[in-house]
Amino acid sequence: MVLIASSPAPQGLPPAAISALVRWWKTLVIENPSGQARADRAVLRRAHDLTAVACLPAYQRVYRSMAGTEGTGDWPPFQQERIAAIVALLAHVKADSGLTLPRAMSLRAEGSDRNPVSELRFRRLLDAGDVETLFAGLRRALPLVEHRVDPESLAKDVFFWGDGVKKRWAYDYAWSMT
């Protein structure tokens, strides 16, 4: 008899989990966040990689809040890594601009002829083959968009990072016509 180890089936990012995530993010960006929210935001911003994020109590509180929502449970390790990236990146987002990441990265300031995120940097983001590389690239890109993006679209794009999201980003980014 051969036993085949099975891993938990991948699950998506249910709306209840996204709502829990956005509620948490809003506690970070309100005018006078609590001392706990400020401390969580600070440690998450300092986390230099996804292992560091996963080991933080601040991340574990958000993760367990999301995992405890209806229709959710523990995610498999590869999806836990994506959620760690989302939580750490949202700690860097200061306001909801309503813009997706590629739109924010290519929204030119009035009078400017350059995108906040250059085409070269954007192509490097599209080349990110894993979430750790994507996380590092987005951490560097968020200051260029003044830490303003739509938190829900950021969460979905990082969670479902792959060829489909990359293609959508390529269509959404305002490439130079020259």
pLDDT digits 0-9 by tens, 116-160 = 999 999 999 999 999 999 999 999 999 999 999 999 999 999 999
- Annotated domain spans of the chain: 15-27+34-172
Are the C-beta atoms of residues 83 and 20 closer than 8 Å to each other? no
pLDDT digits 0-9 by tens, 22-47 = 999 999 988 888 899 999 999 999 99
Tell whether pTM > 0.85.
yes
Matching CATH number, 15-27+34-172, of 3.40.50.1860, 3.30.70.260, 3.40.50.300, 1.10.520.40: 1.10.520.40
